[in-house]
Amino acid sequence: MKPVGAIYVANNRCRFTVWAPEKKSMMLHIVQPADRIIPMQAESFGYFSVDVDDIPPGTRYFFRPADQPDTPDPASNYQPEGVHGPSAVVDHGAYTWQDDGWRGIPFNDLVLYELHVGTFTSEGTFDAIIPRLDDLLDTGINAIEIMPVNQFPGDRNWGYDGVYPYAVQASYGGPDGLKRLVDACHARGMAVLLDVVYNHLGPEGNYFNRFGPYFTSQYCTPWGDALNFDGDWSDGVREFFAGNALYWLETYHLDGLRFDAIHTVFDSGAVPFWELVNREVRQLEQKLGRTLHMTAESDLNSPRVIRPADVGGFGFSAQWLDDFHHALYVLIDENGRERYEDFGRMEQLTKAYTDGFVHSGEYVSFRKRRYGASSAGIPGDRFIAFNQNHDQVGNRVKGERLSVLVDFDRLKLAAAALLLSPYVPLLFMGEEYGDDAPFYYFVSHSEEELIRAVQEGRKEEFKRFQWDVEPPDPQAEETFRDSKLQWHKRTEGKYARLLNWNKTLIQLRRTHPALQTVSKNTVQAYPVGQAGFVLVRRPEDGQQQLIGLFNLSDDALVYSMPPADEGWHKILDSTEEPWQAEPVPNPVTLPGSVRTGETVSLPPRSVVVFEGRIE
């Protein structure tokens, strides 16, 4: 991969490189500390480069393509004056890393935590996250997944409107702020993954077309023309984004990346872009000597995403499992069927446990066609499961979290269903204690026409859901402020009890042999009518099994216990007093031990976990 942007060498010497294959000339305009205009030399494959002395870190500069005005560097590492301002030279070697001994965490051991830097704390910065890491670690969370941080317009945005893929958002703390956060995580034994967006660039400050054919009209995405990964001059685009993945992992010591909506990246070439990226990252992994995780959001329901390249796959470590969310959500919130019309049967949830994809070739009404392929037999650690994420919450008109949509008992059910699954779990920030602040969609654009387009677009998007309220104004600062977490609640009343429930489940997941295996051969799940289901997890030796009995209904559910050598010993019961939203004197709970064949009656909206040994 050819390095692009401003590469600071040493002693105030810097090499500037930009890709502009159809331009006859390129000028470098140094704005500060002293105004200079320097011609750049044309190189092969459409690149222009120049080595310049007297360039201290922090130097502001523009590129000036032939017949175009001063323009920020597409590969800018820092935009301290925003998306329209000059780019700044960064000396990445000036930061002293403290994580020399860090080698990463195996993927199947991760408990992921998705967070948005701007709303995770009142300050909305990288540095403000650091004091909260010990709270997350105490809960059992050992990996944070940060929503996109590449430079976006203004100082508030989800991050998916970013326009400088190599630049760290200035209002969050810039390059050094992100490095300090990663260092702090590694010091605590926590991994850090970053969400990156290679399917589109945001509209404001997007000057890429001034340089070259970054986009193509051959394909259309929800955001307009697609990025050009397989047309004329696409080699430069492929290198730009593949190099970006390497840049984040190497320069910022990140442990992995999450790629947004990979199904909207179109490439019909012999070596698809995703295969190229994963191949390059695997080589980097060998160079660095630490584990790197490549995860994808995909709407394809195709095992190809997580299969190795040598058998025709893209080579990702894992992908998000939306089907698990959909199948569970509609069973704990009856209103969920309005959003997910093709879900609602208990057999679909049990299939999500045993197979992965629920839609694996069946006709799907929402898509009006057959959809998906089977993922049966694919190990559990190739999937990331969740009960909510930024999309599931933020794309509701009121921004409601699951804690607002369902009662406390169902929150406990959802947590157990996720954390006892064979998949790598992901929690959305605040989910561990049931934060009930909304998480809205918000922006801070400066162009009036664009602001109106975003406001009207959100209203139009929600029309098909027939909501009875107007969506909040995404441009209003209040919309952003209302989306901030309420950290003080995690130690109060029902919030503290839910936090302890999640903490207990994570500890069980981490310590019980039956929950350590990712093989699908050790997972069984079957419905009990349409009221509940049974989840069986066993270790590779098949002996010390766990059985989870889930009652999702409002009535008691009778179940007959299967064979076990010495019967079944209860290890977790959601109806016991410590797990109630409010203290309950003398709660009705199941006995601590149950014999083989004995009938148990599960109270409504409850989950009980038993342990039993089978030779």
Total residues belonging to the chain: 615
User: Would you say 240 and 20 are in contact if contact means Cβ atoms under 8 Å apart?
Assistant: no
Does 278 appear as a known binding residue? no
- The Cα 270–Cα 474 span in angstroms is 41
Q: Name the residue among 296, 247, 249, 255 with its Cα closest to residue 273.
A: 296
- The Cα 219–Cα 286 span in angstroms is 35
Does 54 appear as a known binding residue? no
CB atoms within 10 A of CB 384: 27
Does 322 appear as a known binding residue? yes
* Token couple for 388: 């909510």
Catalytic annotation on 176?
no
Any idea which residue has 């409504």 for tokens? 604
CB atoms within 10 A of CB 497: 21
- The Cα 319–Cα 300 span in angstroms is 11
The residues, any chain, with a CB within 8 Å of residue 394's CB and separated by 6 or more, are: 158, 439, 440, 441
Does 442 appear as a known binding residue? no
Does 258 appear as a known binding residue? yes
- The Cα 581–Cα 510 span in angstroms is 25
Does 394 appear as a known binding residue? yes
3-state secondary structure of 454: helix
User: Would you say 580 and 603 are in contact if contact means Cβ atoms under 8 Å apart?
Assistant: no
Does 262 appear as a known binding residue? yes
Q: Which of 73, 114, 195, 297 does the annotation list as catalytic?
A: 297
Q: Which of 114, 260, 267, 409 does the annotation list as catalytic?
A: 260
Catalytic annotation on 297?
yes
- The Cα 175–Cα 159 span in angstroms is 16
Residue 578 carries which side chain, given as an amino acid letter? P
Residue 96 burial by Cβ neighbours in a 10 Å radius (0-12, 13-18, 19+): exposed
Does 324 appear as a known binding residue? yes
Please tell me whether the peptide bond between 33 and the residue prior to it is cis, using omega within 30 degrees of 0: yes
Does 129 appear as a known binding residue? no
Does 60 appear as a known binding residue? no
Does 259 appear as a known binding residue? yes
Does 263 appear as a known binding residue? yes
Name the binding residues: 258-263, 322-326, 390-395
Task: Please identify every residue annotated as catalytic.
Answer: 260, 297
Name the binding residues for substrate: 258-263, 322-326, 390-395
